[in-house]
Every structure is written in C-alpha cells, then in structure tokens.
Amino acid sequence: AGQPGLEVLRYDARGHGLSPGSTDPADYTWPAMARDLRGQLDEVFGDRPVHGVGRSMGTATLLTTAVEQPWRFASLTLAIPPTAWEWRREQGRIYELGARQVERWGVARWSELTRQPPTSPAIDPDGPVTIPDVADDWLPAAFRGAAATDLPPRESVARLAMPVLLLAWPEDASHPLEVARDLAGLLPDVRLEVARTPAEVARWPGMVGDFIRGTGTAAGPASGPTPD
C-alpha cells in the first residue's frame, strides 16, 4: 500500500485480522489461500492482470496462484519467501508443536513464552513485537494447514515468465535465504535483492514501486496476505 498512482488491493488472509476463519486446517493451505486470492481478484479486477506483491505466506499464495493462472499477473514481488521443498519438513514439525502449545496456552501466552530475538541482522531488534492476529480457536488449524502445505513443484515455478522481484534477508530459519536463491535460479526473469541491515529493508517499498512502474501498466498492485 501507499504507492502513489497505483490502485492497491490489500486484504487480510483467511482467519487473520478481520477475515473470517475456521477450525479446519484445509482452509489454511496455500492452495486454499490461492482460491481466496483468485476470488478477490475476480471481484475487484475481473480479467485484468495485476502486479502481485506478497510477503512470507503472501509470497507462497502468489506463487501458487501464478502457477495455476499465470495470465493474472503482470509481475510478482515476492518478499522473504517461506520454507519450501526440502526446507519445509522441519518447519512443519515446528508448526505442529506450535498448534499444540496454542491449544494449551492460548495465542497471547504462547507468543510470550516462545518469543525469541530476531536472528537476521536485517530485522531491527528494537522494532515492535507482533503476535499472530488470529483467534485462539483458529490459530492451531492455521498452523496445521501451514504444516501440510508446500510450494508447487520447481518445474512448475520455472515456467513462470512474468518479471519477478525477490526480496530476502539472511539468517532467518523461517524465511531461508536458500529458498530465495533457489527461486532466483528457477525463474527466467528475476532480480534478487538481499537486505542485510534494517536500513536496506526500509528501502524495499521504494524498490517495489520502481519495479512495478518499470514493468508497464496493469490493474495492480494486488497485495496478498502477509503472515507466515
């Protein structure tokens, strides 16, 4: 949001923020999130292509949608891609543990007991502390849905021809730089930017605006869901 001259659609993912949720893990897989995104795009933009912008889970949602319907996107901006492929299994175990802990303690207590300082030098250690904006009844299902999902196969991702801006940072186990580099090696029209300080992360919004304007006109950007 906040890109002058661009029409922006931004929404809360299922079960997050003001969007309704459920206790069914299947509603929180990335294909399910992609269906939600397609519904938003149909309602707001029809068949006009957009510039997709996502972060973490939003990146996974965009990639899943783009593999299914590449014509929807004039470009993609994919920030801090989450674990995927061979990096996903261990993350799935962490999500299942988190689901059990939230069932026992609730979201606020779970966040307090499991909070750790950021490991990436790109994350400001003095930045605000956030907790998942998901109801206690829904977060275990969201964790289990995330544990059960993955990106499309590499060969499917490699067929995406639209321009892609990848934004990543190092030393974050939930958003491995290795995944971003893997994507950069797969996608045919891609630029990878790695931020190593908070100041470099602060430049990302301007980079995104310049990238979108440099790829031509479209009806976007459509900003996807952003939680992990």
Per-residue pLDDT tens digits for 87-97: 999 999 999 99
Token pair recorded at residue 20: 């309704």
Q: Is 174 part of any domain?
A: yes
Q: Is 2 part of any domain?
A: no
Task: Write the CB contacts of 168 (distance below 8 Å, at least 6 apart in sequence).
Answer: 79, 80, 81, 175, 177, 180, 181, 192, 193, 194, 195
pLDDT for residue 221: 55
SS3 state of residue 84: coil
pLDDT for residue 222: 54
Q: Is 40 part of any domain?
A: yes
Percent of the chain with pLDDT over 90: 85
What's the pTM value of the predicted model, to 2 decimals?
0.92
pLDDT for residue 220: 54
CA distance 189 to 172: 25
pLDDT for residue 34: 98
Q: Is 145 part of any domain?
A: yes
Give the count of beta carbons closer than 10 Å to the beta carbon of residue 6: 17
Q: Is 1 part of any domain?
A: no
CA distance 81 to 173: 11
Of 132 and 4, more confident: 132
pLDDT band at 228 (very low <50, low <70, confident <90, very high): very low
CA distance 8 to 1: 6
Q: Is 228 part of any domain?
A: no
Mean pLDDT of the chain: 92
pLDDT for residue 217: 57
Average pLDDT over residues 1-26: 87
Overall number of domains in the chain: 1
Give the count of beta carbons closer than 10 Å to the beta carbon of residue 68: 14
pLDDT for residue 129: 81
Q: Is the peptide bond before 163 cis (omega within 30 degrees of 0)?
A: no
Percent of the chain with pLDDT over 70: 93
Q: 192, 80 in Cβ contact below 8 A?
A: no
pLDDT for residue 227: 41
CATH no. for residue 53?
3.40.50.1820
pLDDT band at 6 (very low <50, low <70, confident <90, very high): confident
Residue 143 has pLDDT above 80, yes or no: yes
State the Rg of the chain over Cα. 17
Q: 15, 185 in Cβ contact below 8 A?
A: no
The domain of 58 spans 9-223
Q: Is the dihedral of CA 123, 103, 26, 23 positive or negative?
A: negative
Per residue in 147-204, pLDDT tens?
Answer: 999 999 999 999 999 999 999 999 999 999 999 999 999 999 999 999 999 999 999 9
Average pLDDT over residues 207-216: 90
pLDDT for residue 106: 94
Q: Is 4 part of any domain?
A: no
Q: Is 3 part of any domain?
A: no
